Amino acid sequence: MIYESRDVAATRPRLLPWSNLDGNPCYLVTDDTGTGRVSRLADEIEAVQLGMADDLLGHAVDLLGDTRATAPQLRYLAACLAEALHDVHRIARSRGARLPVPHGDEEDPAAGRPSSSEGGRPR
């Protein structure tokens, strides 16, 4: 397979691991190699978010195994897991969008992924 050069992939907007004050996603558009100050900050925040999600999973296993866990504790755990899943999903979308696209695969501009008519799987 032939892949696009890294330069083309670097010009795509990067989904950042935080939202603006209105809760809308933030993007970074840069021409460099992803080593700028904001890119490094985003990488660090993603690493923290992934580490916190991993720690939370360990806590969830312990709490779910405890027969004395209360309903409020389990609801709080569910809320924390939902927030962590949101963060991990955003990181996965951001990293997936920055993967090189095989040559010849066209993206569906409305969906941001390969169209089903051109070899992409329908979702």
Please determine, for residue 120, whether its predicted confidence score (pLDDT) is greater than 50. Answer: no
Please determine, for residue 60, whether its predicted confidence score (pLDDT) is greater than 90. Answer: yes
H or E segment and range at residue 15: strand 14-19
Pairing of strands 25-28, 113-114: unpaired
Please determine, for residue 65, whether its predicted confidence score (pLDDT) is greater than 90. Answer: yes
Stronger pLDDT, 58 or 11, i.e. the higher one: 58
What tens digit of pLDDT does each residue of 75-119 get? 999 999 999 999 999 999 999 988 887 877 655 555 555 444 444
**Cα 33 to Cα 6, 12, 27, 40, distances in angstroms:** 8, 12, 16, 11
- Over residues 9-22, the mean pLDDT reads 85
List, in sequence order, the alpha helices (H) in the chain. 6-10, 37-64, 71-97
